[in-house]
Amino acid sequence: MSEHPTTYVPKSAFGKWFESRLPIAGLIHSSFIAFPVPRNLTYFWTFGAILVFMLVSQIVTGVFLAMYYTPNAALAFQSVEHIMRDVNYGWLIRYLHANGASMFFVAVYIHIFRNFYYGSYKAPREVLYILGVIIFLLMMATAFMGYVLPWGQMSFWGATVITNLFSAIPVVGDTIVSYLWGGYSVGNPTLNRFFSLHYLLPFMIAGVVILHIWALHVPGQNNPTGIPIKSGKDAVPFTPYATIKDIFAVVVFMLFFAYWVFYLPNYLGHADNYIPANPAVTPAHIVPEWYFLPFYAILRAIPDKLGGVIAMISAILIWCFMPWLDTSKVRSTAYRPLYKQFFWLFVAVCILLGWLGSRPAEGWYVIASQICTVYYFAHFLIVLPVLGFVERPLPLPNSILESVMGVQKGGAGMPAGANAEPHSKG
Amino acid sequence: MAETTTHVAEPTRRDFLYIATGAAAAVGGATLVWPFIQSLAPDAATVAAGAPVEVDLTPIAQGQIVKVFWRGKLIFIRHRTAEEIKAAEDVNMASLRDPQPDSARVKEGHAQWLVVYGNCTHLGCVPLGQQGEYHGWFCPCHGSVFDTSGRVRGGPAPINLPIPPYSFASDTKIIIGQEATA
Ligand code: HEM
Ligand code: FES
């Protein structure tokens, strides 16, 4: 695929001895040092590194929280207040963890829509992409169970509403729900198992992330043109080019993250969650965390219990079929003038759905949610398949190099070495 | 040896052994998984805590709804007014999503007492009493509407608020969790 060196030769005697027994240095070298990266990547390609950072951040802050937190229905709420008031810097660790979940989702949504825009889900990256959808589902499950742990009103009622989704399953639904609860309603057994799973799932996410990166390193990264690397001139080595850019992006993202943690730590949460769980009273207006809102709006748009649950689950699972629903041969939306408009319309509909999910389920909000839900599915089931046939894409550049440097006429007018292979520069 | 493996299309002893081994492994695996799944179910203490509870009805004024818990589940006890009973009885059955006459939802001779589970049959929120179009209950979560018999009249809830097992020990006392032994 490229002329970049991928065979790693250890220099020291110990290195040689170790490498012949566990070739991990070679793996790291070929994956993160010599790995060829398209030279035209934008900052949209730094969100993968940002996501890895957020996962590590959640695990580190989570492990510390778990040292002070008590997973018991009678004590959980108090223990979170204890973290906030008594534990040294407990407030910081908790705010990092609670806002970190939101930042994780900010990054994942940008990452996902980047894939949608640049057609990164298309062959040969289907498996890589579906692994990503699996990570997203695991993230949703983890965040949902984490939100239950402080055992406030939103924790309790969120847990009740979401676990009750399973009661929509015909015949066995109620049994499944009592197995989820470990009782006849959400209670102490539910809290205990959610804590256990909330601790476990992030490590499962880490496992799937490894598969995701492995699958990425087979076809390599997509890029803003959507055309593959054809020669070494189209690529730069991962280190230092991508490494430095990723680190810079992570640092900028940390500033954004810090802003929320230090200036608006409770803005993304819900005030009702500072009221201890009360099984006799539902808060007047229950809403999930912002990152679940578009799916929640779809759930409520369907005036039928089972239908609503099916629509909500399908809204995510349908992503898995995108590689086959999209019939266009062109990956990047930059070369798809018609699809570009539909893409932004789709983004607008998703944001609108999110907003509708935060409104009460009444009046025109319901009708608007229904219209948006229909459009959401139409995007996948009608727009994606049909456009591939009717759209005339713009001409693609011949190579990545050409897209960044312009069409070359024998190299005239180019600074010397500008189109030489980067690793042979200077 | 070689001949038997290359020419015989018939099932061999070896095929049988493979299938038998695989079947034993599958049964063994399922047997091992079973206790883990069962451990998730309501445990013995939770089931034991589901013993019947007695509720004294005397302090519940007409028009009032009282909340009690049985097996960790919320239960509404509603002392209905004459109009509420009438509204519940004068209903066109055909217009109901989950058709049930009011008489089937109360104990004979105790029409003023409605005892129902207090979690919305949609996704489990606690509906607000005396609200909504039929002044029964209104669920703030996704807008389900219930009448004064606890029957669903609108919104996403699929069925009526279910009736827990209970019986009248006397005119002013009910036992939730225990049906009358006729
Ligand atoms: C994928 C990574 C993770 C996500 C998205 C996540 C998300 C969340 C969320 C949304 C909360 C509720 C925060 C609040 O409102 O207070 C929470 C709480 C909690 N999480 Fe996590 N978490 C992750 C990883 C972990 C890990 C690995 C651990 C343990 C090792 C952990 C331990 C805890 C504890 C003890 C709490 C309760 C304390 C509290 O509510 O602040 N989390 N988590
Ligand atoms: S929980 Fe009552 S309407 Fe959804």
Asked whether the beta carbons of B179 and B165 are under 8 A apart, the reply is: yes
Indicate the helix (H) or strand (E) that contains A337: helix A337-357
Return mean pLDDT, chain A: 93
* β-pair partners for A235: A38
A225's tokens: 């043109």
Which amino acid does the sequence have at B19? I
pLDDT band at A304 (very low <50, low <70, confident <90, very high): confident
pLDDT band at A415 (very low <50, low <70, confident <90, very high): very low
Scanning the structure block, which residue is given the tokens 């204890």? A82
Which amino acid does the sequence have at A245? K
Kindly report, residue by residue over A354-381, the tens digit of the pLDDT: 999 999 877 899 999 999 999 999 999 9
CA of A389 relative to ligand 2 center, distance in Å: 43
Q: Within 13 A of B23's CA, how many CA atoms are on the CB side?
A: 6
Integer Cα distance of B28 and B153 in angstroms: 49
Please give the residue of chain B at the shortest CA–CA distance from A179: B41
In this structure, the residue with its CA closest to atom 42 of ligand 1 is A62
CB contact (8 A) between residue A361 and residue B72: no
Integer Cα distance of B147 and A21 in angstroms: 74
Partner residue facing A185 (CB), from B67, B73, B157? B73
User: Measured in whole angstroms, how far is the alpha carbon of residue A20 from the centre of its chain?
Assistant: 37
CA of A158 relative to ligand 1 center, distance in Å: 15
Q: Does B157 touch chain A (CB under 8 A)?
A: yes
- What is the per-residue pLDDT for B5? 55
The question of whether B110 is a catalytic residue gets the answer no
Asked whether the beta carbons of B117 and B146 are under 8 A apart, the reply is: no
CATH level 2 (architecture), domain A31-405: Up-down Bundle (1.20)
| Three-class DSSP category at B168 | strand
Q: Please enumerate in sequence order all residues whose Cβ is within 8 A of that of A109, keeping only pairs 6 or more positions apart, or say none.
A: A291
| Three-class DSSP category at A38 | strand
Partner residue facing A178 (CB), from B42, B126, B155? B42
* β-pair partners for A236: A37
Integer Cα distance of A387 and A226 in angstroms: 17
Closest CA to A138 of A62, A201, A203: A201
Q: What parts of chain B have a pLDDT lower than 50?
A: 1-2
- What is the per-residue pLDDT for B179? 85
pLDDT band at A88 (very low <50, low <70, confident <90, very high): very high
Asked whether the beta carbons of A312 and A298 are under 8 A apart, the reply is: yes
Which own/partner contact pairs does A67-70 have at CB distance under 8 Å and 24+ positions apart?
A69/A149, A69/A195
Kindly report, residue by residue over A385-407, the tens digit of the pLDDT: 999 999 999 999 999 999 998 87
Cis check: omega of the bond before A124, within 30 degrees of 0 = yes
Burial track B147-170 (b if 16+ CB lie within 10 A, e otherwise): bbbbbbbbbbbbebbebbebbbee
Integer Cα distance of A289 and A143 in angstroms: 9
As a whole number, mean pLDDT of residues A240-262 equals 97
Asked whether the beta carbons of A193 and B36 are under 8 A apart, the reply is: no
Kindly report, residue by residue over A102-150, the tens digit of the pLDDT: 999 999 999 999 999 999 999 999 999 999 999 999 999 999 999 999 9
- What is the per-residue pLDDT for A365? 93
Which amino acid does the sequence have at A147? Y
Closest CA to A202 of A294, A65, A90, A95: A65
- What is the per-residue pLDDT for A3? 41
Count other C-beta atoms under 10 Å from residue B44's C-beta.
7
Which amino acid does the sequence have at A64? F
To test the contact with chain B by mutation, choose from A153, A180, A184, A309 the residue with the greatest count of B C-beta atoms within 10 A, namely: A184
Rounded to a whole number, what is the distance in angstroms from the first to the last CA of chain B? 75
Integer Cα distance of A9 and A31 in angstroms: 14
Task: Provide the phi-psi class of B132: left if phi over 0, else alpha when psi is between -120 and 50, else beta.
Answer: left
The full set of domain ranges for chain A reads 31-405
Q: What angle do CA A382, A48, A62 make, to 5 degrees?
A: 115
Ligand nearest to the CA of A304: 2
DSSP string covering A225-269, please? T-PPP-SGGGEEEIIIIIHHHHHHHHHHHHHHHHHHHHH-TTTTS
B86's tokens: 């009438």
Q: Is the ipTM value over 0.90, yes or no? A: no
Q: What percent of chain A has pLDDT over 90?
A: 89
Scanning the structure block, which residue is given the tokens 């509403």? A161
Please give the residue of chain A at the shortest CA–CA distance from B49: A183
Q: How far lies B150's CA from each of A361, B85, B145, in Å? A: 21, 11, 9
Q: Does B140 touch chain A (CB under 8 A)?
A: yes
Ligand nearest to the CA of A101: 1
Kindly report, residue by residue over A31-69, the tens digit of the pLDDT: 999 999 999 999 999 999 999 999 999 999 999 999 999
- What is the per-residue pLDDT for B38? 95
**Structural Rg of chain A based on CA atoms:** 24
- What is the per-residue pLDDT for B9? 75
In angstroms, the separation between the Cα of residue B64 and the nearest Cα of chain A is 16
Partner residue facing B43 (CB), from A157, A182, A304? A182
Count other C-beta atoms under 10 Å from residue A297's C-beta.
29
Asked whether the beta carbons of B119 and B125 are under 8 A apart, the reply is: yes
| Three-class DSSP category at A37 | strand
Kindly report, residue by residue over A263-292, the tens digit of the pLDDT: 999 999 999 999 999 999 999 888 899 999
Predicted structure pTM score: 0.89
Residue A2 has pLDDT above 90, yes or no: no
Integer Cα distance of B162 and A300 in angstroms: 22
Residue A92 has pLDDT above 60, yes or no: yes
CA of A64 relative to ligand 2 center, distance in Å: 36
* β-pair partners for A21: none
Q: What's the residue count for chain B?
A: 182
Q: What's the residue count for chain A?
A: 426
A188's tokens: 């102490």
- What is the per-residue pLDDT for A360? 85
Integer Cα distance of B178 and A101 in angstroms: 46
Ligand nearest to the CA of B119: 2
Count other C-beta atoms under 10 Å from residue B108's C-beta.
7
Count other C-beta atoms under 10 Å from residue A106's C-beta.
19
